[in-house]
Protein backbone atom coordinates (compact mmCIF):
# COMPACT_ATOMS: atom_id res chain seq x y z
CA UNK A 1 0.00 0.00 0.00
CA UNK A 2 2.65 2.47 -1.01
CA UNK A 3 1.62 5.90 -2.11
CA UNK A 4 3.36 7.91 -4.75
CA UNK A 5 4.77 11.23 -3.64
CA UNK A 6 2.46 13.98 -4.70
CA UNK A 7 3.73 16.33 -7.33
CA UNK A 8 3.46 20.06 -7.15
CA UNK A 9 0.31 21.28 -8.87
CA UNK A 10 0.68 22.62 -12.41
CA UNK A 11 -0.91 25.54 -14.20
CA UNK A 12 -4.24 26.63 -12.74
CA UNK A 13 -3.91 24.19 -9.86
CA UNK A 14 -0.64 25.79 -8.79
CA UNK A 15 -2.24 29.22 -8.89
CA UNK A 16 -5.14 27.95 -6.78
CA UNK A 17 -2.71 26.36 -4.32
CA UNK A 18 -0.74 29.62 -4.08
CA UNK A 19 -3.91 31.59 -3.44
CA UNK A 20 -5.06 29.12 -0.79
CA UNK A 21 -1.69 29.39 0.94
CA UNK A 22 -1.95 33.17 0.89
CA UNK A 23 -5.49 33.00 2.29
CA UNK A 24 -4.24 30.77 5.11
CA UNK A 25 -1.42 33.19 5.88
CA UNK A 26 -3.76 36.17 5.84
CA UNK A 27 -6.22 34.38 8.13
CA UNK A 28 -3.40 33.74 10.60
CA UNK A 29 -2.34 37.39 10.47
CA UNK A 30 -5.97 38.43 11.03
CA UNK A 31 -6.26 36.09 14.01
CA UNK A 32 -3.02 37.48 15.50
CA UNK A 33 -4.22 41.05 14.98
CA UNK A 34 -7.60 40.26 16.52
CA UNK A 35 -5.90 38.67 19.53
CA UNK A 36 -3.75 41.78 19.99
CA UNK A 37 -6.80 43.99 19.69
CA UNK A 38 -8.64 41.88 22.27
CA UNK A 39 -5.71 42.21 24.66
CA UNK A 40 -5.80 45.97 24.19
CA UNK A 41 -9.51 46.09 24.89
CA UNK A 42 -9.30 43.89 27.99
CA UNK A 43 -6.10 45.12 29.60
CA UNK A 44 -6.06 48.62 28.27
CA UNK A 45 -3.49 50.24 26.05
CA UNK A 46 -1.17 51.01 28.96
CA UNK A 47 -0.53 47.35 29.82
CA UNK A 48 0.03 46.48 26.17
CA UNK A 49 2.35 49.41 25.60
CA UNK A 50 4.25 48.69 28.81
CA UNK A 51 4.82 45.08 27.75
CA UNK A 52 5.83 46.15 24.23
CA UNK A 53 8.27 48.75 25.55
CA UNK A 54 9.78 46.12 27.86
CA UNK A 55 10.24 43.80 24.86
CA UNK A 56 11.92 46.57 22.88
CA UNK A 57 14.19 47.46 25.81
CA UNK A 58 15.22 43.84 26.12
CA UNK A 59 16.01 43.71 22.41
CA UNK A 60 18.03 46.90 22.71
CA UNK A 61 20.07 45.43 25.58
CA UNK A 62 20.78 42.31 23.54
CA UNK A 63 21.89 44.45 20.59
CA UNK A 64 24.18 46.50 22.81
CA UNK A 65 25.70 43.33 24.24
CA UNK A 66 26.34 42.00 20.77
CA UNK A 67 27.92 45.30 19.74
CA UNK A 68 30.24 45.22 22.76
CA UNK A 69 31.20 41.62 21.98
CA UNK A 70 31.91 42.58 18.36
CA UNK A 71 34.15 45.46 19.46
CA UNK A 72 36.04 43.18 21.85
CA UNK A 73 36.47 40.51 19.16
CA UNK A 74 37.77 43.13 16.73
CA UNK A 75 40.25 44.42 19.31
CA UNK A 76 41.49 40.88 19.98
CA UNK A 77 41.84 40.19 16.26
CA UNK A 78 43.75 43.44 15.71
CA UNK A 79 46.07 42.60 18.63
CA UNK A 80 46.69 39.12 17.21
CA UNK A 81 47.39 40.60 13.78
CA UNK A 82 49.85 43.06 15.28
CA UNK A 83 51.58 40.26 17.18
CA UNK A 84 51.87 38.19 14.00
CA UNK A 85 53.23 41.14 12.05
CA UNK A 86 55.79 41.78 14.79
CA UNK A 87 56.81 38.12 14.75
CA UNK A 88 57.20 38.23 10.97
CA UNK A 89 59.30 41.37 11.26
CA UNK A 90 61.63 39.67 13.76
CA UNK A 91 61.90 36.28 12.00
CA UNK A 92 65.59 35.50 11.35
CA UNK A 93 67.34 34.28 8.25
CA UNK A 94 66.18 33.44 4.79
CA UNK A 95 62.79 32.15 5.94
CA UNK A 96 62.18 35.44 7.75
CA UNK A 97 63.08 37.38 4.63
CA UNK A 98 60.75 35.21 2.53
CA UNK A 99 57.92 35.72 5.02
CA UNK A 100 58.40 39.49 5.03
CA UNK A 101 58.49 39.54 1.22
CA UNK A 102 55.28 37.51 1.04
CA UNK A 103 53.69 39.86 3.57
CA UNK A 104 54.59 42.89 1.45
CA UNK A 105 53.19 41.24 -1.67
CA UNK A 106 49.95 40.39 0.12
CA UNK A 107 49.54 43.96 1.31
CA UNK A 108 50.25 45.26 -2.19
CA UNK A 109 47.81 42.84 -3.85
CA UNK A 110 45.08 43.47 -1.25
CA UNK A 111 45.28 47.20 -1.91
CA UNK A 112 44.85 46.65 -5.66
CA UNK A 113 42.41 43.76 -5.25
CA UNK A 114 44.41 41.24 -7.30
CA UNK A 115 46.52 38.27 -6.33
CA UNK A 116 49.28 37.07 -8.64
CA UNK A 117 49.90 33.36 -8.96
CA UNK A 118 52.54 31.40 -10.78
CA UNK A 119 51.75 29.99 -14.19
CA UNK A 120 48.35 31.49 -14.44
Q: Residues 19-44: pLDDT tens digits?
A: 999 999 999 999 999 988 887 777 77
- In whole numbers, what is the pLDDT of the chain averaged over residues? 84
Give the per-residue pLDDT at 6: 62
CA angle 8, 11, 15 (to 5 degrees): 80
pTM of the predicted model as reported, rounded to 2 decimal places: 0.45
Amino acid sequence: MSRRPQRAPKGKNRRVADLEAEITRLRQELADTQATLKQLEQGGADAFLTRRIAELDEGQLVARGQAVEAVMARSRAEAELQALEDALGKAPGLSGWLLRRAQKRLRKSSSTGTIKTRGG
